[in-house]
Every structure is written in structure tokens, then in C-alpha cells.
């Protein structure tokens, strides 16, 4: 636990102890057994800015994925209630870290409950765009992280809805040959939607705030690592789809070509920022390969570069098909999961797919200040 440097810190510690004590008493009662997840959430989301959620508490929450659907729903509800009822930036960030861990490491049944919360659905379901914690300069600074991280996770869930599986999830694995067959079976329309979604996710990752100077660095470092892992997975997914477009360039309609160029232009606008934040000095050749592929794709589809300014104005609406961030209701698309938990697309796009095992090479994530 961090040092007590202000009266607000003391109040936060007292709140943590009081809420955890109350939850422990209730959960010890057999009738209150379902509240054990609530206690784990409280212990993982303290008011201390120097400690991210502990692995023990995260594991306890992820274990809900091995139980029934009702058990998984209880765990997700505990996390979301904590997120939506707090006004503390540290608590909100730690709640979002738990949400991110569910996306990345949770079993399908737990991810599914997250994707359909709340039952009414809707846009901006994390509801953090107006979050403000004015208790101290640090909390004000961390509030910008809450707003950005909430929006980033909504992009991640929305992108996963478009892709049909949870991006960067350990539960989304398929053998390489099957993966390549799956990508090659996509229609041009599906490929364009997925490229557009992946570009949007990478652009949102570029908006990560600066590391706070007045404290809270452990929280920022933890989030940066998680988003950095997403970055590697997203780039790999984008690379596969751009390579597929290069192979089928002669089959693209004029509208498809314009939409693809628009997406590539958007991606190139983030080139410097992406390299600065996420790559540092690690394996430049890997990232250079992506940009080289972008140039190749633009070259083979040909003829649009000189007139891009006019094209962009004419087709301003193209590339935004159902773009709204709806908080990822995975209704008619497959969300790849574990064994019998998988469900299928109505299109049958993944009809023969069991699990992803597509190799993703991990990187060392570099912030603007240091290498984590």
C-alpha cells in the first residue's frame, strides 16, 4: 500500500477497509455466497494509486468463467457496478483493467456476459466520457486516463464484434493454415469492415495520455502493457487482411478501392505516433514490413493517390459502415471460445473452426518515458 500523503488518501483507505469488511461478513454467510465476487472486486479496486489489481484477485474473478452462466454474470455485474458507482479515478482505472483482463484472459462464458452487459446494449456503455475526479491534481490527471481507457475498451469490444472474435484474447486461437483459409474466404465487404475497425482501434491506441508525473505510474504502466499487447495482435490481424487485399486487387470495385485507400490513409496518419509510443527500438523490421505492405497495396490498386483529396471529400461516408461503437453485442457473429462454448455465425464463416492458434510475437512495450 502506498504512503498516506493527504487526508483524501486516508479517507480512501478507510473506505476500502469498511467496504471489504462488510462484504467479507456478508459473503461468509452461505446465503451470501454469490457476493464473494463482490469482495474480490473490492480488494482488486482499492483507492491506492500505487498498486494495480493483484493477480490473486484477478484470478479469482476469472475463475467465474469455469462456472455457470449465472456465476459469470454475477462476476461481470460486480465489476460493472463498481465501475459505474465510483467517483474515484484509481478505482475506475482498476475496474477497467479487470474488464480488459476478462477480454484478454477470460473464458468464453465470461467474455460473453461482458459483451451483453447491460441487457439494453447501446453506445458508450462504459459511460466514462464525462468522468471527472477533482479531489487532487493526481486524480484530475488520472481522470484523463479513465476517459481514454474507457473509450479504448469500447473500441476493442466494437472491433471484436466486427471481427467475430475477441481481439488479442488468449481464448481466440486457430492454427495458421485454418486462419489463412478463414481470411481468404472473407468477402471484400467483410475485409473492408475489418480493416476499418482495426485501423480505428490502432488510432485510439495512439491517443493514450502521457504518463502521470504526480503519481499513479504503476497503474499507467499496467494499462500500457495491456494495450501494447493488443497493438501487436491488431497489427498482425491488419497485416493478414492487407496481404489478402494485395492478392485480390484485380477483383476490387471502384467503391471498394476508394474505401480501402481511405482506410490506408487513416492508418498512415498515425504512423509516427504508433512508432513513437508502441515500438521503441524493438524489431523495427517487423513494423517496417507493415508499412511496406501498405505501400504495396496502394501501388497495386493504383491510380488513386494523386486525386485522393477529392476522393476523400466525395466518399466521406464510405468506410464508416455501421461504425458506431455499440459496446459489442455479438449477436450474429461467432465469438471463438473454449470447446463446446463456441457459437456460430449465421453465415457459417467459421463453421469448421475450433480454436485460434495464430502465432503472435510479443514485443517490449515502450512508453514515452521508459521501457516497461
Whole-angstrom Cα distance, residue 80 to residue 78?
Answer: 6
CB 135, CB 8: distance < 8 Å = yes
Q: Are 62 and 110 in contact (CB under 8 A)?
A: yes
Query: Is residue 329 exposed (0-12), middle (13-18) or buried (19+ Cβ within 10 Å)?
Result: middle
DSSP letters, 50-110, are T-PPPHHHHHHHHGGGGS-HHHHHHHHHHHHHHHHH---HHHHHHHHHHHHHHHHH--HHH
Q: 63, 73, 66, 65: which is closest to 118 by C-alpha? A: 73
Q: Is 366 helix (H, G, I), strand (E, B) or coil?
A: strand
Give helix 55-62 / helix 36-44 axis angle, nearest 10°.
Answer: 150
Name residue 103's beta-bridge partners.
none
Instruction: Provide CB contacts within 8 A for 180, sequence distance 6+.
Output: 240
Whether the model pTM is above 0.85: no
Task: Please give the Cα distance from 14 to 19 (Å, whole number).
Answer: 9
User: 202 and 270 in contact (C-beta within 8 Å)?
Assistant: yes
Give CA–CA dist 101/123, Å, rounded.
Answer: 21
Q: Which CA distances in Å does 274 have to 149, 177, 207, 267?
A: 17, 29, 10, 10
Instruction: Map residue 96 onto helix, strand or coil.
Output: helix
Which of 323, 356, 342 has its CA nearest to residue 158?
323
Domains and CATH numbers, the chain: 1-125 (1.25.40.90), 166-316 (1.20.58)
Measure the CA–CA gap between 116 and 363, rounded to whole angstroms: 31
The 3-state DSSP class for residue 151 equals: helix
Q: What's the alpha-carbon Rg for the chain, to the nearest Å?
A: 22
Q: Residue-wise pLDDT tens for the chain (372 aa)?
A: 445 455 455 454 545 444 544 444 444 444 444 578 888 899 999 999 989 999 999 999 999 999 889 999 999 999 999 999 999 999 999 999 999 999 999 998 999 888 877 655 444 467 788 999 998 999 999 999 999 999 999 999 999 999 988 988 876 666 666 777 889 999 999 999 999 999 999 999 999 999 887 788 999 999 999 999 999 899 999 999 999 999 998 888 989 999 999 999 999 998 888 777 766 545 566 778 888 999 999 888 865 454 445 555 555 554 454 444 444 344 444 443 333 333 333 333 333 333 333 334 433 333 333 433
Amino acid at each position: 500500500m502506498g504512503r498516506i500523503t493527504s487526508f483524501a488518501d486516508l479517507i480512501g483507505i478507510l473506505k476500502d477497509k469498511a467496504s471489504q469488511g462488510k462484504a467479507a461478513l456478508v459473503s461468509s454467510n452461505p446465503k451470501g455466497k454469490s457476493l464473494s465476487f463482490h469482495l474480490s472486486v473490492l480488494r482488486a479496486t482499492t483507492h491506492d494509486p500505487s498498486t494495480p489489481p493483484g493477480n490473486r484477485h484477478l484470478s479469482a474473478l476469472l475463475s467465474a468463467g469455469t462456472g455457470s452462466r449465472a456465476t459469470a454474470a454475477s462476476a461481470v455485474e460486480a465489476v460493472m457496478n463498481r465501475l459505474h458507482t465510483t467517483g474515484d479515478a484509481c478505482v475506475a482505472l482498476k475496474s477497467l483493467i479487470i474488464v480488459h483482463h476478462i477480454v484478454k484472459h477470460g473464458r468464453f462464458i465470461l467474455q460473453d456476459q461482458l459483451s451483453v452487459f447491460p441487457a439494453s446494449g447501446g453506445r458508450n456503455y462504459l459511460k466514462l466520457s464525462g468522468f471527472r475526479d477533482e479531489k487532487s491534481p493526481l486524480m484530475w490527471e488520472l481522470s484523463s486516463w479513465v476517459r481514454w481507457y474507457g473509450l479504448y475498451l469500447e473500441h476493442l469490444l466494437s472491433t471484436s464484434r466486427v471481427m467475430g472474435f475477441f481481439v488479442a484474447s488468449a481464448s481466440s486461437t486457430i492454427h495458421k493454415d485454418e486462419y489463412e483459409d478463414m481470411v481468404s474466404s472473407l468477402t471484400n465487404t467483410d475485409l473492408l469492415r475489418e480493416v476499418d475497425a482495426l485501423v480505428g482501434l490502432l488510432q485510439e491506441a495512439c491517443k493514450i495520455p502521457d504518463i502521470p508525473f504526480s503519481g499513479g505510474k504503476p497503474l499507467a504502466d499496467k494499462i500500457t502493457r495491456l494495450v501494447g499487447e493488443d497493438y501487436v495482435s491488431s497489427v498482425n490481424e491488419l497485416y493478414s487482411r492487407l496481404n489478402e487485399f494485395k492478392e485480390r486487387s484485380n477483383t476490387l470495385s471502384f467503391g471498394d478501392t476508394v474505401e480501402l485507400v481511405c482506410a490506408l490513409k487513416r492508418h498512415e496518419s498515425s504512423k509516427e505516433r504508433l512508432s513513437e509510443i508502441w515500438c521503441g527500438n524493438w524489431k523495427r523490421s517487423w513494423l517496417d514490413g507493415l508499412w511496406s505492405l501498405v505501400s504495396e497495396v496502394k501501388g497495386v490498386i493504383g491510380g488513386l493517390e494523386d486525386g485522393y483529396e477529392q476522393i476523400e471529400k466525395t466518399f466521406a461516408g464510405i468506410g464508416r459502415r455501421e461504425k458506431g461503437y455499440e459496446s459489442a453485442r455479438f449477436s450474429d457473429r461467432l465469438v471463438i471460445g473454449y470447446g463446446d462454448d463456441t457459437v456460430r455465425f449465421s453465415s457459417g464463416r467459421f463453421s469448421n473452426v475450433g480454436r485460434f492458434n495464430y502465432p503472435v510475437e510479443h514485443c517490449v512495450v515502450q512508453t514515452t518515458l521508459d521501457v516497461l
